[in-house]
């Protein structure tokens, strides 16, 4: 059983998946920072300075906090602004991954060698072909 486990772990697919998950997690942090720290403030400035992340609907009475953090401490809230921000994060991440895959596919197309010309036939076949062509005339 231990040998099977070693064989399973040593396979390239498992290692590739592990690397992909680790890099994906780090990449998710980068995209979150890009969205939260760069894109959303610009969108907020364009649309009058509001921040989507603080948009919420109170689900219980007595919630009068101006921010989502404070409202969550007072009771249940429906944080649709945070959800909207997560949708934007996802769309940005999907777009970046699409562009990366597209770039890799373009590189692969350029790297593929052109089909090789068929090999020249042997000398005796060439001679017979020439004789056939002369006889046709």
Residue 65 and residue 74: Cα distance in Å, rounded? 8
From residue 51, give the alpha-carbon distance in Å to each of 26, 46, 48, 86, 122: 25, 11, 9, 13, 76
pLDDT above 70 as % of the chain: 92
Give the whole-angstrom CA distance, residue 82 versus residue 76: 14
Model pTM score: 0.52
- Count of C-beta atoms within a 10 Å radius of residue 53: 19
Q: Tell me the average pLDDT of the chain.
A: 81
pLDDT recorded at residue 111: 67
**36-70 confidence digits (pLDDT tens):** 788 777 877 776 665 677 788 888 888 888 888 88
Rounded mean pLDDT, 18-36: 82
Helical (H) or strand (E) element with 24: helix 12-33
Q: Are 69 and 82 in contact (CB under 8 A)?
A: no
For residue 1, pLDDT beyond 80: yes
pLDDT digits (tens, 9 = 90+) for 78-99: 888 888 878 877 887 788 888 8
> Are 92 and 39 a contacting pair, CB within 8 Å?
yes
């Amino acid at each position: 059983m231990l040998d099977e486990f070693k064989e399973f772990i040593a396979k390239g697919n498992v290692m590739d998946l592990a690397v992909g998950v680790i890099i994906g997690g780090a990449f998710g942090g980068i995209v979150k920072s890009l969205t939260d720290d760069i894109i959303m403030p610009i969108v907020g400035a364009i649309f009058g300075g509001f921040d989507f992340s603080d948009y919420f609907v109170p689900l219980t009475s007595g919630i009068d906090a101006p921010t989502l953090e404070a409202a969550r401490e007072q009771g249940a809230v429906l944080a649709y602004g945070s959800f909207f921000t997560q949708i934007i994060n996802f769309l940005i991440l999907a777009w970046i991954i699409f562009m990366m895959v597209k770039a890799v596919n373009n590189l692969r197309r350029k790297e593929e060698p052109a089909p090789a010309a068929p090999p020249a036939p042997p000398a005796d076949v060439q001679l017979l072909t020439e004789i056939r062509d002369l006889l046709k005339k």
